[in-house]
Amino acid sequence: MAPIIIVGSGLAGYTVARELRKLNREVPLTIISRDCGSFYSKPMLSNAFQQGKNAASLVNFTADQMAAQLNAEILSETEVEEISSHTHTITVAGKRLPYSSLVLALGADQRQTNLSGDGAADVLTVNDLADYARFRQALAGCRRVAILGAGLIGCEFANDLAAQFDVTLVDPAAWPLSRLVPEPAGQAMAAALGKAGVTLHLGETPQSIERRGNAYCIHMGSGATLEADRVVAAIGLTPRVALARKSGLFVERGIVTNAWLHTSASDVYALGDCAEVDGLVLPYVMPIMQAARALAKTLNGESTRVVYPAMPVVVKTPVMPTVVVSPLDANGRWESAKAFEDEANPNSVWSVFRNDQNEMCGFALMGDYVKEKNTLLSTMAPWLA
């Protein structure tokens, strides 16, 4: 019997494998990893520096340990060259491997900055263990760090590095977390980061980076400049779709699947950061977990639709604890967070998103209000599930 093959050893790939093994210990299973195949928590990469963790200490299990746990063959440091859905094979190192079902859990790449200048190629990104190891090494002996992007990851890095470096956070938006929270909540995050020592350049768009000896000069579209010893980009993710596109699968923002995670090819599935599931690209932990549990059942013969309950995203910024549930449907409005601001606790902000039927379908809780998460989730769950 041809094995189920999972391409990708991140949270999505390994969670599918684990969930499948809860249902079926015997079906042949192969996992293909482009890197070392170690299992680790990728969200830890943006808040591990202050804890003194190096890349090795972030590893929970090696590829060999995962292979033993999952009763699986794991091919590490291996690239899939092509998918032939007609013959149910993939090509690896020029050799065709058959599959009964194929799962694409390819992840995503850091979005490119498109900056000009002789320093642009030196901009650091942190997207996996190897990147994190280079990042830690690059920061040795530095004092000034500029972070491009004030989204979730950029804010987490800024919070994590502020205790040891002079951190500058740059973003074209008017407030941090602009894609997740309304302005009053974003301004609360800006104030908290500023109080922690982070310098914020908001409403500024970097255009080029020039080397200045051992440092860098960042030129903004406004004409302003700033200098840093190292520059880190955290401007979002781009789903890895090149293999799927090359192999003839339907691709839009991600590898397109229906709600059962089927791609346009028979017996080929996709999930996680690489996938556009039923019109949604959701690069967060909870959607991945929901999709993996559903797919494991499907792979075991019980066709199962992925269902998304309310899915909170925790922003790991201790200077301003934050939890967000983004509305799946953007039609609606954020109610003014200022109206819910607690004057006795100025660092606590409560925002809710209501749809056109006046139902609450999202929220952003900051500071002391994060303790209200479960109360609001219980209110949302009956109609979001």
Backbone φ, ψ for residue 353 (5° rounding): -110, 125
- Cβ pair 17, 9 in contact under 8 A: no
Query: Apex CA 199: angle with CA 197 and CA 202, to 5°?
Result: 145
Same domain for 215 and 259, yes or no, is no
Residues 197 and 98 in one domain: no
- Per-position DSSP letters for 82-94, written without gaps between them: EEETTTTEEEETT
102 plus 124 within the same structural domain = no
Exposed, middle or buried: residue 301 (CB in 10 Å: 0-12, 13-18, 19+)?
Answer: exposed
Are 205 and 218 in contact by the 8 Å Cβ rule? The answer is: no
In terms of domains, do 102 and 117 share one?
no
Amino acid at the residue 143: R
The Cα–Cα gap between 76 and 89 comes to 18
CA distance 16 to 103: 9
Residues 241 and 256 in one domain: yes
Residue 159 lies in a domain: yes
CATH of the domain at 331: 3.30.390.120
Does residue 62 fall inside a structural domain?
yes
On whether residue 205 sits in a domain, the answer given is: yes
Q: Which of 175, 203, 233 is a domain's end point?
A: 233
What is the model's pLDDT at position 368? Answer: 86
Instruction: Quote the pLDDT of residue 22.
Output: 98
CA distance 7 to 294: 17
As beta bridge partners, residue 210 has: 217
Residue 337: per-residue pLDDT: 58
Domain's final residue, options 299, 329, 352: 299
Predicted local confidence at residue 98, as pLDDT: 98
Domain assignment of residue 308, yes or no: no
Residues 119 and 215 in one domain: yes
DSSP assignment of 148-210: E--SHHHHHHHHHHTTTSEEEEEESSSSTTTTTS-HHHHHHHHHHHHHTT-EEEET--EEEEE
Question: Could you tell me how many residues make up the chain?
Answer: 385
How many domains does the chain divide into? 3
Is the distance from CB of 179 to CB of 315 less than 8 angstroms? Answer: no
Kindly give the residue spans of alpha helices, DSSP state H, lying in 24-128. Answer: 63-70
d(CA 348, CA 345): 6
d(CA 339, CA 351): 9
**C-alpha distances in Å from residue 309, one per residue of 62, 70, 378:** 32, 28, 10
Residues 71 and 39 in one domain: yes
C-alpha torsion angle, residues 205, 210, 212, 216 (rounded to 10): 40
- Which helix (DSSP H) or strand (DSSP E) does residue 246 occupy? helix 242-246
User: Strand 166-171 and strand 199-202: pairing?
Assistant: parallel
Q: Are residues 176 and 276 in the same domain?
A: no
How many whole angstroms separate alpha carbon 52 and alpha carbon 255?
Answer: 37
Q: Six-digit token pair at 321?
A: 């604890």
DSSP symbol at 332: S
pLDDT tens-place string over residues 63-98: 999 999 999 999 999 999 999 999 999 999 999 999
* Amino acid 164: pLDDT: 96
CA angle (289 as vertex; 74, 328 as ends), nearest 5: 140
Residues 225 and 118 in one domain: yes
Report pLDDT for 338: 52
Q: Contact at 8 Å (CB) between 228 and 100?
A: no
Residues 197 and 178 in one domain: yes
Q: What would the two tokens of residue 272 be? A: 């996680």
pLDDT at 35: 95
Residue 58 within any structural domain of the chain? yes
- pTM of the complete model: 0.94
Does 289 lie in the same domain as 251?
yes
Could you tell me if residue 214 is inside a domain?
yes
**314 domain residue, yes or no:** no
Partnered with residue 237 across adjacent β-strands are 110
Show the domain range for 344: 321-384
**What is the distance between the alpha carbons of residues 169 and 190, in angstroms, rounded to a whole number?**
10
Q: Measure Cα distances from 65 to 59, 61, 73 in Å.
A: 11, 6, 11
The CA–CA distances, whole Å, from 99 to 86, 123, 272 equal 11, 39, 20
pLDDT in tens, the chain (385 residues): 899 999 999 999 999 999 999 999 999 999 999 999 999 999 999 999 999 999 999 999 999 999 999 999 999 999 999 999 999 999 999 999 999 999 999 999 999 899 999 999 999 999 999 999 999 999 999 999 999 999 999 999 999 999 999 999 999 999 999 999 999 899 999 999 999 999 999 999 999 999 999 999 999 999 999 999 999 999 999 999 999 999 999 999 999 999 999 999 999 999 999 999 999 999 889 999 999 999 999 999 999 999 988 889 999 999 999 999 988 777 899 986 554 555 555 568 889 999 888 888 899 999 988 999 999 888 875 444 4
Is residue 351 domain-resident? Answer: yes
Q: Are residues 262 and 214 in the same domain?
A: no
Asked which of 212, 233, 254 is the last residue of a domain, the reply is 233
CATH of the domain at 39: 3.50.50.60
Neighbours of 190 (CB within 10 A): 23
Q: Give pLDDT, residue 339.
A: 42
